[in-house]
């Protein structure tokens, strides 16, 4: 019974390797940790990296391991303690981990890892149902200022990027972020249903998640959080509408603590090469991810600034004790 699929799989694997392994392939054998369960954003990022690293010949093999738990808190603890000084390991992480570590009072922090590069980012959007009286960011701002409790925001998990964004919006329009009525839902599906059903005032999410609904006219986008208007899109930014709200859900890759500068350079070069490869560009297009490559010390700087900003917001909404 096992013979047939065995052969098929073997053939598939062989094919993949033959196609993916040009003669100039380096001898890099990487281990990549996705600190989340299979299927989520970090896992998809890790698996896409695996695909691109091997296909572009940057690495000979890449093994993805999943260590799910508490917004990455379990994964990073294992990574920092278990992979210390190992120049062949990397871990995917992102915006959500910053908040999760602060909220879970994790003993391990992002300062301990060696930053490699930011890879992608996703622009955030605020939407309302098509029949809502709220037409633009200013209307929403007015509603928030009038009675902040009555404006319900649906979004992802507590302390995640959507929640932080709701608090930033309230702050930017001059309301008290502490008083926002933010309702976390598990997964984009449930919150979208609540928005479409008119159960909440507005919804917050990554733009790509709601793009289909916006195009089909079921949802109205009030604004996006990019600095400049996205090319080819007619959704205005919040900045254009006089609300200073710029945020993105970024994903990045880091290396363990205690690696040598040479090891760090090897990994950084490998990632940079991967980012420039056609395979990676193809994946970005497929998944609808925005290329946001930022390497070296610039990324280390960015990471520090984001950590401060997110922790401040979480303190202001009372999720992290100050």
Partner 1 sequence: MIDTFAALAHGMAVAIQPMNLLYALIGVFLGTAVGVLPGIGPALTVALLLPVTYKLDPGGSLIMFAGIYYGGMYGGSTTAILINTPGESASMATALEGNKMAKAGRGGPALATSAIGSFVAGTIATIGLAFLAPWLVDVAVRFGPEDYFALMCVAFVTVSATFGDSPVRGLTSLFIGLTLGLVGIDKLTGQARLAFGVPELLDGVEVTTLAVGLFAVGEALYVASRRRHTEEKLEPVRGSLWMTKEDWKRSWKPWLRGTMFGFPIGALPAGGAEIPTFLSYSTEKRLTKHPEEFGKGAIEGVAGPEAANNASAAGTLVPLLTLGLPTSATAAMMLAGFQQYGLNPGPLLFAERPDLVWGLIASLFIANCMLLVLNLPLVGLWVRLLAVPQPWLYAGILVFATMGTIAAKPSAIELSMLAGFGVLGFLMRRFDFPIAPVVVGLILGPIAESQLRRALAISLGDPMTLAQSPISATLLAVALIALLAPFVLKGLGRFKANED
Partner 2 sequence: MTSGDSTQSPRRVDPAGLVIAALLAGLAAVLVWDARGLQSVAMYGMGPEAMPIVVATGLALLAIGNFINALRGNLPARESADPVPVLLILVGLALLIAVIGFGGGFILATSALFVTTSAAFGRRAILVDSIIALVMSTLIYLVFDRLLTLSLPAGPLERLL
Among 150, 228, 276, 281, binds partner 1 (CB under 8 A): 150
User: Could you tell me the CA-to-CA distances from 299 to 27, 34, 42, 296, 313 in Å, in that order?
Assistant: 26, 20, 18, 6, 21
Name which of partner 2, partner 1, none residue 12 binds, using a CB cut-off of 5 to 8 Å depending on partner kind: partner 1
Region from 105-113, 177-185, 283-291, 296-304 binding partner 2, contact rule CB under 8 A: 177-185
DSSP per-residue letters across 178-217: GG-EEEE-SHHHHHHHHHHTT-SSEEEEEHHHHHHHHHTT
Closest distance to partner 1 from the beta carbon of 116 (Å)? 24
Residue 63 interacting partner from partner 1, partner 2, none (CB closer than 5 to 8 Å by kind): partner 2
Collapsing DSSP to helix, strand or coil, 240 comes out as: coil
Q: For residue 273, give every residue at least 6 positions away whose Cβ sits within 8 Å of its Cβ, in sequence order, or none.
A: 56, 58
The C-alpha atoms of residue 230 and residue 143 are separated, in whole angstroms, by 26
By CB under 8 A, name the one of 188, 236, 258, 296 that touches partner 1. 188
Residue 9 binds partner 2, judged by CB under 8 A: yes
- Evaluate the CA torsion angle 144, 148, 152, 153 in order and state its sign: positive
Task: Please identify which residue in 22, 149, 174, 232 interacts with partner 1, judged by CB under 8 A.
Answer: 149
140 binds partner 2 (CB under 8 A): no
- CB of residue 247 vs partner 1: minimum separation in angstroms? 18
Distance of CA 90 to the CA centre of its chain: 16
Please tell me whether residue 62 binds partner 1 under the rule CB under 8 A.
Answer: no
Q: Is 205 in the site for partner 1 (CB under 8 A)?
A: no
Binding partner 1 by CB under 8 A: which of 39, 82, 85, 242?
Answer: 39
119-127, 213-221, 250-258, 296-304 -> range binding partner 1 (CB under 8 A): 213-221
* 105 vs 305 by CB, closer to partner 2: 105
Q: Do residues 124 and 224 touch, judged by C-beta distance below 8 A?
A: yes
Burial class (CB in 10 A: 0-12, 13-18, 19+), 131: exposed
Burial annotation 65-101 (CB, 10 A radius, 16+ → b, else e): ebbbbbbbbbbbbbbbeebeebbbbbbbbbbbbbbbb
Residue 215 binds which of partner 1, partner 2, none (CB < 5-8 A, kind-dependent): partner 1
Residue 233 interacting with partner 1 (CB under 8 A)? no
Confirm or reject binding of residue 265 to partner 1 (CB under 8 A): no
Residue 322 touching partner 1 (CB under 8 A) = no
Please report, as residue ranges, which positions from 55 to 74 form the binding site for partner 2 (by CB under 8 A).
63, 65-66
**Does residue 93 belong to the site contacting partner 1 (CB under 8 A)?**
no
Ranges of beta strands (E only) in the chain are 29-34, 61-66, 89-94, 114-129, 152-155, 181-184, 202-206, 219-224, 248-255, 290-295
- Binding residues vs partner 2 (CB under 8 A): 2, 5-6, 9, 63, 65-66, 149, 178-179, 181, 317-319, 321
């Amino acid at each position: 019974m096992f013979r047939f699929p065995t052969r098929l799989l073997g053939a598939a694997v062989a094919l993949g390797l033959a196609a993916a392994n040009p003669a100039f392939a380096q001898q890099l054998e990487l281990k990549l940790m996705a600190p989340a369960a299979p299927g989520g954003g970090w896992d998809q990022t890790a698996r896409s990296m695996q695909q691109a690293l091997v296909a572009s010949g940057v690495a000979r093999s890449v093994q993805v391991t999943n260590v799910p738990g508490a917004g990455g808190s379990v994964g990073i603890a294992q990574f920092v303690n278990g992979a210390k000084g190992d120049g062949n390991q990397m871990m995917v992480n992102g915006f959500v981990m910053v908040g999760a570590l602060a909220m879970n009072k994790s003993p391990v922090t992002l300062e301990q890892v060696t930053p490699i590069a930011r890879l992608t980012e996703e622009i955030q959007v605020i939407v309302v149902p098509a029949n809502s009286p709220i037409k633009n960011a200013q209307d929403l701002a007015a509603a928030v200022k009038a009675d902040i409790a009555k404006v319900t925001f649906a979004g992802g998990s507590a302390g995640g990027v959507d929640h932080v964004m709701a608090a930033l919006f309230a702050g930017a329009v001059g309301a008290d972020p502490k008083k926002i009525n933010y309702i976390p839902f598990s997964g984009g599906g449930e919150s979208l249903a609540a928005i479409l059903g008119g159960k909440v005032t507005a919804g917050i999410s990554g733009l790509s998640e709601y793009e289909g609904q916006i195009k089909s006219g079921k949802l109205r986008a009030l604004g996006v959080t990019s600095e400049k208007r996205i090319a080819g899109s007619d959704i205005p930014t919040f900045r254009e509408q006089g609300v200073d709200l710029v945020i993105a859900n970024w994903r990045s890759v880091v290396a363990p603590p205690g690696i040598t500068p040479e090891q760090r350079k090897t990994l950084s070069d490998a990632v940079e090469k991967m980012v420039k490869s056609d395979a990676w560009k193809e994946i970005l297009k497929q998944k609808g991810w925005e290329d946001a490559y930022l390497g070296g010390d610039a990324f280390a700087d960015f990471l520090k600034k984001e950590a401060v900003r997110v922790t401040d917001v979480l303190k202001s909404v009372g999720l992290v004790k100050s």
